[in-house]
Amino acid sequence: MKRMTAEIPQETIQAEQESMARVREMDGRPASYFIVTYGCQMNVHDSESLEGMLQQMGLTGAADRTCADFVIFNTCCVRDNAERRALGNVTWLKELKKTNPQLRVAVCGCMIQEPGMAEQILRTYPFVDLAFGTHNLYHFPTLFEQMLIRQRRVIEVVPDDLGSVPEDLPIVRSNPYQAYITIMYGCNNFCSYCIVPSVRGRERSRESSRILAEAEALRRDGVREIMLLGQNVNSYGLDREDGMRFPQLLEAIDKVGIERIRFMTSHPKDLSTDLMDVMAAGSHICPQLHLPVQHGNNRILKSMNRRYTREQYLEKVAMLRERIPNISLSTDVIVAYPGETEAEFEDTCSLVEQVRYDSAFTFIYSPRTGTPAAIMPDQIDPETASRRIQQLIAIQKQITAENFAKYVGQVHHVLVDAPSRRDPSQMSGKNEYNITVNFDGSPDMIGQILPIRITEAKETTLKGTLVEDSHD
């Protein structure tokens, strides 16, 4: 039976707000926090909610984890190394706790939602005071309060059986000019290598009027760029009865008038021509798309349960370019998937050469317990995997250099973000293609969208100069 999405009841959210008010007044509660975030934008956005709740409870952000009273790790489990890095850092805090017994440590996010992980935390990490999964993030104030009142560990992992989405959580945005809007949670696709559906649950879309109201509020707040988030934004609305699907939602958000709109992630199988038409006709939708291909060989794509072929993917790329000739494409690619032969790997290389992405996130396949691919025979040995990824990186590097060289001489519009990390006399921001551009500027330009003539292509960024006599 098709499951319909509902909002978490208002009384539940009200109870969380009461919890926050009580913690705020509590004697001896932690005074400062530090959040360590791993993984994707979804996690970054969840951390903004955690920060909003912590601030409502009266805590202030610490400059560093070593001087915070409360440290929370918002974890990712998509790849084994992300998980090991998070656990390594949690362990490191054990030492810190010896010198500061008042320190409280929490772990939340996707890793906790993995089967068996909460038990492992209980057993192996006795210094962790609080742990909770992805489905009860909104419940954090109550859990935090319980941890403080009872003076004992609190661990709560709930299964995805609610089919509900949280609304009205407090939030602290890390950037006043750019914001994330989650439009849906979870994923129904079950790609054979991916653990996300088990830890983030089934697809739940937010009500469109809520999303539009949020976009409107952000515009009034001076936000100039939004990123719509979801594990598979293209299936937005399939779990709701109001008939609003992603193309219509995007069209409506475009009319709100925020200067730049981006979205991710798009599953290629669900990328419709309707959506491409909306992207092409929109006034504010950036000519940029992250379209994860994962592999270039049909046998592997089938085994991955991606439900498109190489040919279908390439056809969609062609249709996109027909409508938006300057579109900048990026992708995710997995090498060394179980059983991948040399010829199959070469298919990935040839697809990358054919599409000519501006950038590609390349990964060595990482087995995740509980996924079908993890128990497939013929796992690829590390040397072969490493050789293949190096080969693919070299191909993509060459393509990026050639693509970026074509940008030299063009005027791009850059939303100025911050001084460049490498050279503070330079300002840095993203152009419409989501590529970092550095140029000579000053901090008073932060938050403006400025025309920058591209003068030089670097390995992963562009350099340019401000076009004078221009107005934002």
Nearest-approach distance from CB 304 to ligand SF4, in angstroms:
8
Nearest-approach distance from CB 289 to ligand SF4, in angstroms:
15
Total of chain residues touching ligand SF4, rule CB under 6 A? 10
Residue whose CB is less far from ligand SF4, 371 or 396: 371
Give me the DSSP letters along 313-362: HHHHHHHHHHH-TT-EEEEEEEES-TT--HHHHHHHHHHHHHH--SEEEE
Residues 453-472 binding ligand SF4 (CB under 6 A) are none
Q: Which two tokens stand for residue 453?
A: 């003539």
Strands 204-205 and 184-185: antiparallel
Nearest-approach distance from CB 236 to ligand SF4, in angstroms:
13
For residue 11, the tally of other CB atoms under 10 A from its CB is 7
Strands 359-364 and 436-440: unpaired
Nearest-approach distance from CB 63 to ligand SF4, in angstroms:
34
Tell me, what DSSP letter sits at residue 225? E
Nearest-approach distance from CB 193 to ligand SF4, in angstroms:
7
Residue whose CB is less far from ligand SF4, 348 or 428: 348
Among 121, 130, 137, 196, binds ligand SF4 (CB under 6 A): 196
The packing angle between helices 310-323 and 273-281, to 10°, is: 20
Helix (H, G, I), strand (E, B) or coil at 428: strand
Residues 166-195 binding ligand SF4 (CB under 6 A) are 187, 189-191, 194
Q: Does 232 bind ligand SF4 (CB under 6 A)?
A: yes
Closest CA to 215 of 250, 172, 164: 250
Query: Cα Rg for the chain, rounded, in angstroms?
Result: 23
Among 231, 328, 348, 371, binds ligand SF4 (CB under 6 A): 231
Residue whose CB is less far from ligand SF4, 143 or 333: 333
Q: Which two tokens stand for residue 371?
A: 């996924």
Nearest-approach distance from CB 292 to ligand SF4, in angstroms:
7
Query: What gap in Å lies between CA 140 and CA 93, rounded to an integer?
Result: 21
Binding pattern to ligand SF4, positions 257-276, x when CB under 6 A?
----------x---------
Residue whose CB is less far from ligand SF4, 269 or 387: 269
Residue whose CB is less far from ligand SF4, 23 or 42: 42
Nearest-approach distance from CB 187 to ligand SF4, in angstroms:
3
Binding pattern to ligand SF4, positions 361-400, x when CB under 6 A?
----------------------------------------
Nearest-approach distance from CB 237 to ligand SF4, in angstroms:
17
Helices (H), 169-287: 196-200, 208-220, 246-256, 273-281
Among 166, 197, 268, 419, binds ligand SF4 (CB under 6 A): 197
Nearest-approach distance from CB 393 to ligand SF4, in angstroms:
21
Nearest-approach distance from CB 265 to ligand SF4, in angstroms:
6
Tracing tokens 């993509």 back to the chain, one arrives at: 396
| Residues paired with residue 37 on neighbouring β-strands, in sequence order | 74
Tell me, what DSSP letter sits at residue 193? T
Query: What gap in Å lies between CA 268 and CA 10, rounded to an integer?
Result: 36
Q: Does 134 bind ligand SF4 (CB under 6 A)?
A: no
Query: What gap in Å lies between CA 217 and CA 415, rounded to an integer?
Result: 20
Residue whose CB is less far from ligand SF4, 195 or 452: 195
Q: Which two tokens stand for residue 91?
A: 């362990």
Residue whose CB is less far from ligand SF4, 139 or 267: 267
Nearest-approach distance from CB 286 to ligand SF4, in angstroms:
21
Query: What gap in Å lies between CA 309 and CA 321, rounded to an integer?
Result: 19
Q: Which two tokens stand for residue 121?
A: 């935390």
Residue whose CB is less far from ligand SF4, 98 or 299: 299
Residue whose CB is less far from ligand SF4, 72 or 351: 351
Q: How far is CA 282 from CA 52, 120, 247, 258, in A?
A: 32, 49, 11, 12
Residue whose CB is less far from ligand SF4, 267 or 388: 267
Residue whose CB is less far from ligand SF4, 47 or 189: 189
- The residues, ordered by sequence, that sit 6+ positions from 451 with a Cβ below 8 Å of its Cβ are 411, 412, 413, 414, 466, 467, 470
Residues near ligand SF4 (CB under 6 A): 187, 189-191, 194, 196-197, 231-232, 267
